[in-house]
Each structure stands twice: as C-alpha cells, then as structure tokens.
Amino acid sequence: MKWKTNCEEAYEKIVPYLRTAIVKKLAEEGLSIRSATSLVGVSITSYEKHVNDERVEKILKDEELNDMVTSLSSRLRTGDRVESVTFCLLCSKSRKIFGLEPCLDL
C-alpha cells in the first residue's frame, strides 16, 4: 500500500467536490459559471463533470459545511482575503461526511 498524506488523499477524494460546491454557490449568488470557475481555479469542464455528483449535494446538504461554503464563496466574490487555513478547515470537516478521518483536531 502506498503511503499518502491526508492532504493527498483529500486532493483526490474531496477537493474537486468542494471546489465545485463553491462554484455552484457563486453561481447562485449571480456570478457566471465562467467567472466563478476562474475565481475558484477550476475549469468549466471540471465543474460540469462534478456539479451533479451526489458528493457535491452531500456537502451542500450538511448545514455546517453549507455555511462554510457560503461564507467562503461570499469572501471570494467580494475580493476579501481568504486564508489557506479556511479551506483546510472546510476540507477537514468534509472528510467526516465521506467516512475519512479528519486531519485537524477540530
């Protein structure tokens, strides 16, 4: 078995769905898909590939995660600074709903 860090595991199993959830939220707030994907750093193709995945809905249906995604998307939309740790906290909390060990002590 190949050893992976929690971040490497999340990059494959969680991050694409978190980024898609953020783009989806930005689009709901009025940004075009093109602008939202550019702001989040994903391609439109990647967004379209993941947008209807149940994992995105699972993230958005969780009240705490939805609040975190909403807050993050609002900060991105208004140009406020977003610290890296903000996404780390969101990712760590998301790990729980996907049956993975959280990587931060929250």
- Chain-centre distance for alpha carbon 42: 11
Q: What is the pLDDT of residues 4-21, one digit of tens each?
A: 888 888 999 999 999 999
Q: CB atoms < 10 A from the CB of 61, how many?
A: 11
Helix (H) or strand (E) holding 80: none
User: What average pLDDT does the chain have?
Assistant: 93
Domain locations in the chain? 6-97
Give the pLDDT mean for 66-83.
95
d(CA 35, CA 64): 26
Q: What is the pLDDT of residue 106?
A: 55
Identity (one letter) of the amino acid at 85? V
- What pTM value is reported for the model? 0.91
**pLDDT band at 101, cuts 50/70/90?**
confident
What tokens does 46 get?
């990647």
